[in-house]
Copies of this chain bind each other. A is one copy, B any other.
């Protein structure tokens, strides 16, 4: 799999796609259905092999697709996709096919069956690491990153560089209020 704006990220550096705390879109597919949801509650969990943690509420249709398929993608949306991020967070795939209704362009994952949401700035293809007790008690899902990609206009050589305002990652606070990521600086 390859696309104009999608270049591979080495797995040992995949954590850098999430390390600064962006809100993500979680996508999954199972048994002929696919869906996309928004998730601010995500974080890296390990470096190499890279792992992630994400909170998936029991009410979400995507959670069932992940339980069924054992796979998901964390897509990192950019400022140009803030409206889409709110939209997928405001409806349920249980009630309608969000990908069709919202005309979300997707591409097949390279390793997992879950779709990649086009025009995001990074993608982490993940295999679920089943934790039934943790999932039931805390809605907390763990995954191993099996492939990672980034838009080289925003991330290359292991670093984010946001020359284009529309490509900045977005960080949800509450109720559709976001902050874009800001100025890069070096400390220490």
Q: Which residues of A line the B interface, CB within 8 A?
A: 13, 16, 19-23, 40-46, 51, 53, 55, 79, 82-83, 85-87, 90, 131, 134, 138-140, 142, 158-160, 168, 170-174, 176-188
Contacts and interface: CB of A to CB of B under 8 A. Distances in A.
A21 B19 CA distance: 8
Given A45-B139, A178-B186, 18 more contacts: A13-B174, A19-B40, A19-B172, A20-B172, A21-B22, A21-B43, A40-B43, A40-B44, A43-B43, A43-B55, A45-B140, A46-B138, A51-B138, A79-B185, A170-B187, A176-B188, A178-B187, A181-B181
A187 B176 contact: yes
A90 B187 CA distance: 12
Nearest to A162: B179
B87 A188 contact: yes
B43 A53 contact: yes
B185 A82 contact: yes
A173 B19 contact: yes
Given A83-B187, A85-B187, A188-B176, A171 B21 contact: yes
A20 B83 contact: no
B21 A20 contact: yes
Contact of A187 (B82, B184, B185): B82
B41 A179 contact: no
A11 B134 CA distance: 23
A42 B41 CA distance: 9
Contacts of A178: 20, 184-187
Given A20-B21, A171-B21, A174-B19, A188 B55 contact: no
B43 A42 contact: yes
16 contacts: A16-B174, A19-B40, A19-B172, A20-B172, A21-B23, A41-B44, A45-B139, A83-B187, A87-B188, A131-B134, A159-B174, A160-B173, A176-B187, A177-B186, A178-B185, A182-B182
